[in-house]
């Protein structure tokens, strides 16, 4: 049994403009992969929470963050426009005696209308008439992973401040981003970033993957690998080298991918939050874009390889804010296959965790688990590694196109990341 409550909002700002760079980056992926990229979360509700409390929180989110009330205007033979509304009503679904996971799956799978649907879907699940869970699913165009962390912090502050009405708009929404990106300063930023890309693209071999050695149907395979040993080993290497755990795992990925495919150096597009840029620091909207990084670590001891990767990736981070249309034109000119991605979705880790012992790392390997997940013919990238946000382990999600990377290489890559990092952690530099 379900009912719907309409939640009215009245925010600040409205207008129509072209998509921001971050939105365009995601829109390109949505078109290639034929998906609206829904992202969801299921949260237990504190005892005593009412449907009205959830409605007030939903209203705050819509009024505070313009991207949450932004829809698209689709156009023939042209990219869509973003359309920001300053008022409207969104549905809040009330569901009785259904599992929260079932509700989340339904909200994910219900087709999405980019022009008419609001990009936030919310449901309250009740058990015996008492609200127990909140289910939220959003279109990826409204935020990215690090934007979700900003949103969580803003929500916590709103609750601490007594849930005030009529919040001020959040930091630099997509309409303002698009206007700046069109300005002389924005064009200069994009041009500088693309010069860096062009220097790399002109200097590397166009073919970056083995090819159709073992093509399968369905074509795109998704592998999962959960490893607490990799979590501990990466922490140990990060502590020893003074270099962050993301760079440690990027180095392990480069070494493992080179081992699995025989292609070196590894050219990888590292997803960058871009929130180190002051104007974007507090924005919820999507501003992440991939940087281009050449990881040349063949034959190097692991600690030395991590240090080299850190230098390369820092330069790459500085050139990860650009006009995707300009990049598409450059890739068309150079014909280099750079569809290999690395995305660490975890927040920055604490630096004061106690160093694990070699015995703890070795023992944890017995818990490691490899598993195949989805297999589909719907288009995807050549290779996309995601490190999921799970504080208890390292959870790798590697999607591969078997017409370019064989299934055996996909599996070998994630397993070898653990082997390489554990050996470095236990054996030293």
- CA distance linking residue 335 with residue 304, whole number of Å: 32
**Domain of residue 350, CATH code:** 3.30.559.30
Q: What is the pLDDT of residues 116-132, one digit of tens each?
A: 999 999 999 999 999 99
pTM of the model: 0.94
CA distances from 47 to 43, 100, 251 (A): 12, 16, 45
Give a yes or no: residue 408 inside a domain: yes
Pair (89, 7) in one structural domain: yes
Pair (277, 420) in one structural domain: yes
CB 378 within 8 A of CB 35: yes
Q: Which two tokens stand for residue 231?
A: 């979590």
Pair (199, 220) in one structural domain: yes
Query: What does each of the 429 residues of the chain score in pLDDT, given as a tens digit?
Result: 679 999 999 999 999 999 999 999 999 999 999 999 999 999 999 999 999 999 999 999 999 999 999 999 999 989 999 999 999 999 999 999 899 999 999 999 999 999 999 999 999 999 999 999 999 999 999 999 899 999 999 999 998 988 877 777 778 999 999 999 999 999 999 999 999 999 999 999 888 888 889 999 999 999 999 999 999 999 999 999 999 999 999 999 999 999 999 989 999 999 999 999 989 999 999 999 999 999 999 889 999 999 999 999 999 999 999 999 999 999 999 999 999 999 999 987 755 678 899 999 999 999 999 999 999 999 889 999 999 999 999 999 999 999 999 999 999 999 999 999 999 999 865
Pair (115, 75) in one structural domain: yes
Helices 407-427 and 245-261: crossing angle in degrees, nearest 10, is 130
Pair (263, 387) in one structural domain: yes
Q: What is the pLDDT of residues 260-275, one digit of tens each?
A: 999 899 999 999 999 9
H or E segment at 57?
helix 51-64
* DSSP output for 143-180: --HHHHHHHHHHHHHHHHTT--SSPPP-SS-HHHHHHH
Pair (298, 357) in one structural domain: yes
* DSSP output for 337-398: ---EEEEE-SPPPPTTPPPPPHHHHHHHGGG-EEEEEEEE-S---SEEEEEE--TTSEEEEE
Q: Which two tokens stand for residue 288?
A: 């992440």
Give a yes or no: residue 163 inside a domain: yes
**Domain of residue 173, CATH code:** 3.30.559.10
Give a yes or no: residue 334 inside a domain: yes
- CA distance linking residue 37 with residue 25, whole number of Å: 12
Tally of domains within the chain: 2
Q: Which of 220, 229, 217, 208 is nearest to 414 (CA)?
A: 229
CB-based contacts of 387-393 (< 8 A; 24+ apart in sequence)? 387/246, 387/249, 387/343, 387/344, 387/345, 387/346, 388/345, 388/346, 389/145, 389/345, 389/346, 389/347, 390/226, 390/346, 391/346, 392/228, 392/231, 393/226, 393/227, 393/228, 393/230, 393/231
CB 16 within 8 A of CB 96: no
Q: Which two tokens stand for residue 102?
A: 């079932």
Pair (303, 408) in one structural domain: yes
- CA distance linking residue 408 with residue 226, whole number of Å: 18
CA distances from 127 to 31, 124, 130, 133, 214 (A): 39, 10, 5, 9, 49
Pair (71, 20) in one structural domain: yes
**Where is the domain boundary, 179, 210, 240?**
179
Pair (61, 127) in one structural domain: yes
* Region for 77 from its dihedrals, namely left if φ exceeds 0, alpha if ψ lies in -120 to 50, beta otherwise: left
Surface-to-core class of residue 352, CB atoms within 10 Å of its CB (0-12 exposed, 13-18 middle, 19+ buried): exposed
CB 143 within 8 A of CB 151: yes
Give a yes or no: residue 319 inside a domain: yes
Pair (354, 410) in one structural domain: yes
CA distances from 155 to 52, 56, 138, 141, 162 (A): 16, 11, 16, 20, 11
Q: What is the β-pairing status of strands 2-10 and 369-376?
A: unpaired
- CA distance linking residue 239 with residue 237, whole number of Å: 5
Range of the domain at 139: 2-179
Give a yes or no: residue 185 inside a domain: no
Distance of CA 390 to the CA centre of its chain: 14
Give a yes or no: residue 184 inside a domain: no
Pair (170, 271) in one structural domain: no
Pair (275, 408) in one structural domain: yes
């Amino acid at each position: 049994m379900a009912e719907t409550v309409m939640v009215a909002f009245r925010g600040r700002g409205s207008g129509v403009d072209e998509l921001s760079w971050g939105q365009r980056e995601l829109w390109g992926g949505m078109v290639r992969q034929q998906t609206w990229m829904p992202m969801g979360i299921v949260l237990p509700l504190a005892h005593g929470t009412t449907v009205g409390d959830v409605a007030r929180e939903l209203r705050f989110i819509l009024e505070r963050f313009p991207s949450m009330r932004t829809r698209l205007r689709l156009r023939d033979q042209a990219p869509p426009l973003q359309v920001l509304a300053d008022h409207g009503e969104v549905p809040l679904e009330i569901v009785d005696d259904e599992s929260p996971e079932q509700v989340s799956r339904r909200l994910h799978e219900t087709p999405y209308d980019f022009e008419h649907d609001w990009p936030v879907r919310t449901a309250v699940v009740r058990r015996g008439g008492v609200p127990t869970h909140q289910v939220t699913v959003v279109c990826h165009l409204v935020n990215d992973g690090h934007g979700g962390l900003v949103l969580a912090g803003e929500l916590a502050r709103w609750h601490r401040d007594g849930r005030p009405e009529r919040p001020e708009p959040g930091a630099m929404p997509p309409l303002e981003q698009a206007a700046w990106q069109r300005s002389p300063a924005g064009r200069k930023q994009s041009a500088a970033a693309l010069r860096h890309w062009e220097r790399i693209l002109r200097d590397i071999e166009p073919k970056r993957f083995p090819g159709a050695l073992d093509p399968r149907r369905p074509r795109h395979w998704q592998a999962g690998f959960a490893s607490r040993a990799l979590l501990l080993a990466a922490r140990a290497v990060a502590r020893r080298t003074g270099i962050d755990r993301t760079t440690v795992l990027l180095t392990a990925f480069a070494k493992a991918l080179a081992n699995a495919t025989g292609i070196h150096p590894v050219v990888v597009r590292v997803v960058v939050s871009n929130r180190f840029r002051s104007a974007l620091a507090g924005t919820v909207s999507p501003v992440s874009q991939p940087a281009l990084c050449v990881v040349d670590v063949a034959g190097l001891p692991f600690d030395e390889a991590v240090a080299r990767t850190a230098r390369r990736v820092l330069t790459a981070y500085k050139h990860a804010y650009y006009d995707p249309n300009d990049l598409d034109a450059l890739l068309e000119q150079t014909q280099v296959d750079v569809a290999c991605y690395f995305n660490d979705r975890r927040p920055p880790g604490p630096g004061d965790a106690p160093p694990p012992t070699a015995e703890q790392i070795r023992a944890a390997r017995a818990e490691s688990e490899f598993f195949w997940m989805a297999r589909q013919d719907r288009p995807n990238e050549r290779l996309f590694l995601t490190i999921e946000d799970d504080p208890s382990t390292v959870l790798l999600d590697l999607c591969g196109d078997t017409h370019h990377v064989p299934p055996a290489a996909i599996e070998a890559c994630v397993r070898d990341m653990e082997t390489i990092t554990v050996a470095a952690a236990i054996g030293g530099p």
